[in-house]
Structures are given as structure tokens and as C-alpha cells.
Amino acid sequence: MTLREFLSDRLGRIALQLICAGLSALFLFATGTQLGVLVILLIGLLLVFLIVNMLDFFRQRTRLLELETIWQGLDRKYLFAECVSQPKGIYKRRLFDLTRRASRAMTSAVSDAQASQREYREYVEQWVHEIKAPITAARLICRELDGKTRRKLTAELAQIEAHVERALFYARADNPQQDCLLWQIDLEKIVSQAIENHRSLLIQSGVRIETEKLDCTVYTDEKWAVFILGQLLQNAARYRGTEPLITLSAKQLAHQTWLIVKDNGIGIPAHELPRVFDRGFTGSNGRIRGGSTGMGLYLCRKLAGFLELGLDIASEEGKGTAVTLMFPAKKKLTEL
Amino acid sequence: MQKIMIIEDDPVVREELVLLLENEGYMPLSVTDFDGVLKQAARECPDLVLLDIGLPGRDGFSLCAALRKAAPAPVIFVTSRDDGVDEVRALSLGGDDYITKPYSVPVLLARIKAVLRRSSCKPEPADLLEAGELRLSLTKGMASSGGKAVELSRNELQILACLMTHAGQIVSRADLIDALWDNQIYIDDNTLSVNMTRLRGKLEEIGLPDAIRTRRGMGYQL
């Protein structure tokens, strides 16, 4: 609060004080008080007004600064009213009470919402773990079937798994600190794990994969990185062209390691490219082919954010798409 | 025969695992009484334990520690929880490996084989494969017959190895592709054809032009 703001706020009161002083001086003059006495009286009055107003100004300014500091220091801003001392004066105290009541109602609404979100997340995780038992059993049973049916069923099971996996990671993405485990991992391991996870889909799509120079280590959470890469592989297989080829190559820079996932698929129209990471965005390719959820890349970006993983996409319609995963150097991760 | 103890609470998975392991030439021991599991382990002395973490009553972590005392067998954790923390905990408790459900059958078998090999200190699997006059050295990547030898590429080597381990049987193209993907060679159908032609050319060089027969609509046969 500046002095000017304070003055413009107080304008009415100051004017009233001045008018009162003027009127009483006029009255005293009319009733025969000496001019010298009047001047002294007026100067005295003005001095008192000045001091009172200045004191008010400094008091208000200190209070506001104090409140501002508390606000800055607060982790959860909605608890502000709980952390502030009560003001003086009945009117202010009443106002303050009202604010405090409002924010308490808010706090309980927030914690209810958090609790139900946590319960929901726990249920989804539980559900995901439970559904895995029958899927495992189905996989084992599949083994007894003849080649063609086994492959088809295995591919369908793999699809179910991919959907289940997405649900799990979607539930986890809201509170990632709980599951994130940053570690030194061979890039090759991440790549072969992701390929293994989606191998049915990839083989059935007739995809050929070439890997180049993947013998480096990165610092990241293995499961999340495998998941992200898995989404990219699924997309590459789903939006493939003729003679589909996916190239996975690594590039080591001073402070980053890049993993470039390049395909020769149908590509993404330029005007849709900025939106592919949006939640639920399916684009023209997704609409034409069907079965697109618009969740894969959205989750990738969300999870990548927590891993401090850069994610970049480039595409040309009819030629293919290249997604670059930029793994940060260890040094930067220690800040996490 | 190597004994594998299966500690798994889902009956369907358990039974299927028993069948699978029997087919693979192991002797599965399925556990249904989870309270008496330690006694059973001490009595049977399994060569390997497949342990589910989410058991009724007792959790797999504490069981693992107790199992290690009762029987010196290596333990592979099998679980549907895939938090990183669990994995670290499992391995630090003396688990030898950690697999998350739903696992694919070849991966499970490969892990079992690897852990058994490590624990029993058996030599690596045979380097030399033989089928009729044809010999294949996996480490050198050379195929030889009647004194003549030829060098094979990585892809050709894996294709031939797969055919030779199933000598006499028909191996479908899909099975061959599967076997190659198992070895981190991610090829498609066309590439397989190209590699097959090259492999046949090389076998011809060592005097075996018709070693690999094409069985129309079914696959290949050595």
C-alpha cells in the first residue's frame, strides 16, 4: 500500500476533519477568540490529525506486509485464514470470522475431495492388480491352443493389458511421488522391455524394429519410461503405413540423452500436431481408424513432466512421425 | 528332474503353472496349505520357489525370509503389484528375480531357466548344435558340414538355431519370428524371407542346398 492509496482511501475522513476544524475556528472567531490563539489551536489540531493518520497508515502497512509474508510462506493457500492473527475492532473481527468460516468450509470440501480421490485411486490400483490374475491365467491357458488361435488370443489379451496398464498409470499420475523411483538404467533394457510388452501387437502389425546405439544409461524410473515408450510403440504400430519400420536410436548430449522413436507411418497433419498431447484428443487419424482413446500421449506428457523428461514430436503426413524422449542428466535430477 | 515349488493363491494360475512346468520337464510342487508351507519346503527341498507376494494371511515378503532359512532354494517373486518399491524390497530380501503378472510364458520360462542355471552352477547351454551332417557353433556363429564352414549373420544364426533345436519338426514362420524377437531381433515377415534365402544360399556353399525344406502353408522343416 502506498501513501497515495492510503490518502485516497481516507479522503472523506480527512476532509471531514478539516471541515470540522475550519468550522470550530470560525465559531471561536465569531465569539471573540483572539486570532493568535486560534492559529495555535489550528496548528495543534492539524498536527494531531497528521500524527493520527500517519500512525494509521504505518499500522495498516505493517499488517498488510505481515499478511503478505504469511501468504508467501504458505504451502496450501486455502489455509490462510487459519494462520493469521485476529484483527482488532468488532467490525473487523466479525468480517474476519466470516472469512475464516468460509475458508473452513472450503478446507473440509477440499479434504473430502482428496479423500475420495485417494480412495478411488486405491480402488483402481487394487482392481488393476486383481484383474491381472485372470489375465495371467488366460495367458497360461492360451498356451494349450494351436498356433493361430493362440496368437490371436494372445494379441487380444495384450490389448486388454495395454488398456489396464493405461488405467493404472492414469490413476498414479495424480500422485506420482509415491511410485517414482529414479535410478540408473540401461536404455537398452527399457527398450527391450517396452518392445516385449507390446510384442503381440507389433508382430501382428508386421512391424520391423531397428535399434541403433542404445548402449547408454539414463536416470529415470524404469516402469514409467517403459510405459511411455510403450505408448509410442503402440501408436507407431496402430498408425502404420506399408512396410512399417520403427527405428529406435539414442543420442548422447552433454546434459541429456535422447531416445528417438521414428516410424514411417501415416503421420499427423501439421495443424493437429500441437494438440496431440491434449487429453482425449484423437485427431483425424484416430477418428478414421477408430479405437483411439486420446489418452496415450496425454499420459506420456503428464508422466514425462514428473520425470523431468523432455518430449518432442515431429511429423509429416504420409512420411512418418518422430518422437524424441529427452532424458535429463543425473546432476539435474538431484534437485528433484 | 528339478523341483519347482509353486506358492500361488489363484487356483487357475496355479494349476496352469503346474501343467506348464510339467510340460517343460520340471517337477512342480503346488502348495495349497499356506500355513504348512515352510515344513513342506524343508521336507521337499525344492530347487526353485515361485512365490506370489499377495498371499492370503501372510505376505510374501516375510514368507521369503522364512523360506530362505527353511530351504536354501532360490526364490523368484511373482506378483501383480508392480511398484518399484516392492521390487527393491523383494530383491533385498533375498529374492533372486522378480516377475510381474501378467507375464508371458516364454519370459517366465527363460527366467526360471536362468535362475536355475545360476544356482546350480551348471555350464551354459550347449554351444554346439547338431542335426544330421549340419553342425552349428553358437558362440562362433559358424555353420559347418563335411569339413566346409560358413559364417552366419546374427539373424541367420538365430533362424538356424531355432530350426535345429526343433530338427524334424515343422516350424511356422510366426514361430520363427517369435524366436527372433526373443533374441532382440525385431524383424517382420519380409525380412524373414530375405534372411531365409540368404541362409539357404550359405548352406548351399557347405554342400547342403536342400537342408531347409519349405512346407507350403505350414512353415519350414530341417
* Residues A108-136 pLDDT 10s: 999 999 999 889 888 888 898 889 889 98
> B170: helix, coil or strand?
strand
If asked whether residues B96 and B160 sit together in one domain, one would say no
**Least confident range of A320-324, B88-92, B183-187, B213-217:** B88-92
Look at residues B55, B85, B120 and tell me which one is the last residue of a structural domain: B120
- Residue A336 is predicted with a pLDDT of 47
> Of A128, A129, A130, A136, which to mutate for an interface test with B (greatest number of B Cβ within 10 Å)?
A136
If asked whether residues B103 and B138 sit together in one domain, one would say no
- Residue B121 is predicted with a pLDDT of 58
Number of domains making up chain B: 2
The third-level CATH classification (topology) of the domain covering A175-333 is: Heat Shock Protein 90 (3.30.565)
**Least confident range of A104-113, A306-315, B128-137, B185-194:** B128-137
Complex ipTM value: 0.72
If asked whether residues B186 and B94 sit together in one domain, one would say no
If asked whether residues B71 and B100 sit together in one domain, one would say yes
If asked whether residues B106 and B169 sit together in one domain, one would say no
> B184: helix, coil or strand?
coil
> B105, A143: Cβ pair inside 8 Å?
yes
Cis peptide before B72 (omega within 30 of 0): no
pLDDT, tens digit (0-9, with 9 covering 90-100), for B8-51: 888 888 898 999 899 888 999 888 887 788 888 888 888 888 88
pLDDT band for position A298 (cuts 50, 70, 90): very high
> A223, B82: Cβ pair inside 8 Å?
yes
Picking from A161, A192, A221, the nearest residue to B84 by CB comes out as A221
Structural domain for B175, as ranges: 128-221
Residues 6 or more apart in contact with residue B57 via CB below 8 angstroms: B34, B35
Look at residues B120, B136, B151 and tell me which one is the last residue of a structural domain: B120
> B66: helix, coil or strand?
helix
Q: Looking at the predicted structure, is the pLDDT value of residue A324 above 90?
A: yes
CA distance to partner chain B, nearest, from residue A140 (Å): 6
If asked whether residues B26 and B45 sit together in one domain, one would say yes
If asked whether residues B133 and B180 sit together in one domain, one would say yes
DSSP letter assigned to residue B71:
-
> A181, B85: Cβ pair inside 8 Å?
yes
- Residue B84 is predicted with a pLDDT of 63
A195 part of contact set with chain B, CB < 8 Å: yes
> Using a CB-CB distance cutoff of 8 angstroms, which residues of chain A are in contact with residue B17?
140
B181 part of contact set with chain A, CB < 8 Å: yes
- Residue B10 is predicted with a pLDDT of 85
pLDDT, tens digit (0-9, with 9 covering 90-100), for B96-149: 888 888 888 888 888 888 888 877 755 555 678 888 888 888 888 888 888 888
- Average pLDDT over every residue of B58-71: 77
If asked whether residues B113 and B146 sit together in one domain, one would say no
Q: What nine digits make up the cell of B184?
A: 532382440
Q: Looking at the predicted structure, is the pLDDT value of residue B58 above 80?
A: no
Picking from A139, A203, A211, the nearest residue to B102 by CB comes out as A139
The identity of residue B33, as a single letter, is D
> Using a CB-CB distance cutoff of 8 angstroms, which residues of chain A are in contact with residue B178?
203
Sorted by where each begins, the domain ranges of chain A are 175-333
If asked whether residues B62 and B155 sit together in one domain, one would say no
Q: Looking at the predicted structure, is the pLDDT value of residue B166 above 60?
A: yes
Q: Looking at the predicted structure, is the pLDDT value of residue A249 above 50?
A: yes
If asked whether residues B83 and B170 sit together in one domain, one would say no
Picking from B82, B101, B187, the nearest residue to A136 by CB comes out as B101
CA distance to partner chain B, nearest, from residue A261 (Å): 14
- Residue A144 is predicted with a pLDDT of 81
- Residue B216 is predicted with a pLDDT of 86
CA distance to partner chain A, nearest, from residue B1 (Å): 22
**Rg (Cα) of chain A, in Å, rounded?**
34
Its pTM stands at 0.74
Picking from A180, A203, A210, the nearest residue to B177 by CB comes out as A203
- Residue A331 is predicted with a pLDDT of 56
Look at residues B98, B120, B142 and tell me which one is the last residue of a structural domain: B120
pLDDT, tens digit (0-9, with 9 covering 90-100), for A196-244: 889 888 998 999 999 988 888 888 888 899 999 999 999 999 899 888 9
Torsional sign, CA A225, A228, A229, A230? positive
Of all residues in chain A, what percent carry a pLDDT higher than 90? 38
